Chains A and B, each alone.
Chain A
Amino acid sequence: MAQLTSPVTPPRTQEWWKTRQFGQIVHDIIVYTLLVLLSLVFIFPFFWMVTTALKLDYEIFLWPPRWLPNPPHWENFGLALTDPQLPFFPTFFLNTMKIVTLVVIGRLVSCVVVAYGFARLEAPGKDVLFAILLATLMIPGTLLLFPKYILFNRIGWVNTILPLTVPTFFGEAFAIFLMRQFFASIPRDLEEAARMDGCNTFQVITRIIVPLSVPVLTVIAIFSFKDNWNDFFGPLLYLSDRTQYTLAVGLAFFNGRYDVAMNLLMAASVAVMLPLVILFFIAQRAFVEGISVTGLGGR
């Protein structure tokens, strides 16, 4: 850090509290104090979910609240997941994974291509198409619900995962818009150099745009994963066979049966949520690495 200090005022003649190192320390103290305080506020609901999952029935409603259950009842997780009335959790998990994987792949592949077109290529009617794309974001979901159901029913897709997965291979306005904004901020020079070297559009996308866009691609993958992992209404509408249910639907049924046993409901909720949390924690590392790969972050 010292070598960055402005040569006009050499460090030696400065008072110690004006030095760069001291400024950095004060800055870090303020930043981390705020981060810790704010994260406590954000983590609180999750903290309560986990501790409730580990409590006995009567402990939940104690006042003042017993913050940490003593002893923690880990068996609640086993009870919730192996409930004899609902022996489908492994099946629900596989069903959910199948849908979510297809959705993430479909969305990334289709949206990258469409967004590249909107970000970089010129053609008559492009502005009109982009305006339509934005407009589709404003269509209230319920407006489409029943006509879509009738459509999928007519082509025999109801009771399969096709209505939930196939449409994602046709792009999605939110992801396209987000990627387009990101692609637009990538310097054109790189791309022009690649074209000079004889790259075609497909190669430009796979070799220049995609590696430079790892942060935004990761964000979209996480969003798609989360939305479809937690999606309740879609699977409920299109999958009526119990063996096809997803975790979110299974959880809601669990909720319906265990009105009073809040600890078990919370145990099941935490278990369903855990893969998301783990995935997010892993993926956001790629997110950080993606930034260093781009060479756009710190140079």
Chain B
Amino acid sequence: MAIAATSTGVQPATATKKPKRATQAAREARIFYLCVAPWVIGFILFQLGPMLASFVLSFTRWDILSPPVFVDIRNYTFMFTRDADFWQSLRVTVTYSLFSIPLQLMVALGLAVLLNEATRGIGLFRTLFYLPSVVASAAAAVLWTWIFNPEFGPINGLLRLFGVQGPAWLIDPKYALWALIIMSVWGVGGTMLIFLAGLKGIPGNLYEAAEIDGADRVARFFRITLPMLSPTIFFNFVMTLIGSFQTFDSAYIIGTRASGSIGAPAKSTLFYMLHVYDQAIAQTKMGYASALGVVLFVIILVLTLLVLRSSSLWVYNEAERK
């Protein structure tokens, strides 16, 4: 946003003084459009088009077999006034996001910083931390049901060592969501890698200069690492936020598929996307599912714009440095 302000402010002045600069700007613009053309075309074909189709469908009742019937805004009024599952799914998704996003970001950053401090065996540890992220979902289902098993599972086994009787986790509506939040920590491998790439990109001479000035490890972390890493933190924050509002796989595999009812136990893991899936696939209410999808899109869009707005306050950007 800062770029827009400066460039529009400067252009008219240079255009009148030096016509050469203006043609150069036009040339640069042409190259820009050429560069982003593949994405723009792909966006129109594979995203905007299908999205508009979905938006139109959200005003219809459509069971796939017969042609869609226009129903005005009735899908939306039903959602906000009479669909209790809509509100429950929103509550579940927001609770999950509130706890799992900070947890994931802190664990990922902590692991990345720790790995960055190590001198030998980084490759091995990096692979170990990433391993849980590559387990295929079919295997993950069996795996996590066993880990959270109240009788035989290793988590309650560990708690028993400390004399604590663990909860029934995936079977207890009070704890099922917490089990999924704990589970999300195992999947931070990808986020950690992005943090690590960011850490490696920080010029080493900054640290050397700070060390000569007498800054200790803690000061160097807060004065150099965190500010220089802020674009990466911003990126990971946005991506984790978006991902967590679209959580589907883990909830579907662990809660729903294991017990056969959607969002089990007692709808305590009824994530928003599960509700969309249930309406679209199980109930074949494609029109209503489209409306749910549109609302989710708006929610995520608003949240991300809020984060984006705040980013100029805390994100360092080399390109915007003048």
Contacts and interface: CB of A to CB of B under 8 A. Distances in A.
Are A and B co-members of a single complex? yes
A2 interface: no
Contacts of B234: 181
Interface in A272-299: 272-273, 276-277, 280-281, 284-285, 287-288, 291, 294, 296-299
A27 B113 CA distance: 13
Given A117-B36, A230-B134, A147 B49 contact: yes
Contact of B123 (A136, A184, A285): A285
A89 to B, nearest CB: 14
Interface in A128-148: 129, 132-144, 146-148
B118 A35 contact: yes
Contact of B197 (A27, A137, A215): A215
Contacts of A185: 201, 231, 317-318
A117 B28 CA distance: 10
Main SS of chain A's interface residues?
Answer: helix
Given A45-B147, A49-B135, A114-B36, A171 B142 contact: no
A288 B130 contact: no
Contacts of B136: 230, 232, 248, 251, 269, 272-273
B152 A65 contact: yes
Interface stretch (A11-19, A69-77, A118-126): A118-126
A287 B197 CA distance: 9
Given A219-B193, A299-B203, A188 B25 contact: no
Given A42-B131, A269-B136, A299-B204, A140 B126 contact: no
Interface residues of B, number: 101
B139 interface: yes
B126 A35 contact: no
A201 B35 CA distance: 10
Interface stretch (B79-87, B97-105, B258-266, B288-296): B288-296
Given A171-B38, A171-B42, A277-B134, A121 B300 contact: no
6 contacts: A122-B29, A137-B304, A138-B300, A140-B297, A255-B142, A280-B130
Interface of A: 6, 27-28, 31-32, 34-35, 38-39, 42-46, 48-49, 61, 63, 65, 110, 113-114, 116-124, 126-127, 129, 132-144, 146-148, 150-151, 167, 169-171, 173-174, 176-178, 181-182, 184-188, 201, 215-216, 219, 222-223, 226, 230, 232, 248, 251-252, 254-255, 262, 265-266, 269, 272-273, 276-277, 280-281, 284-285, 287-288, 291, 294, 296-299
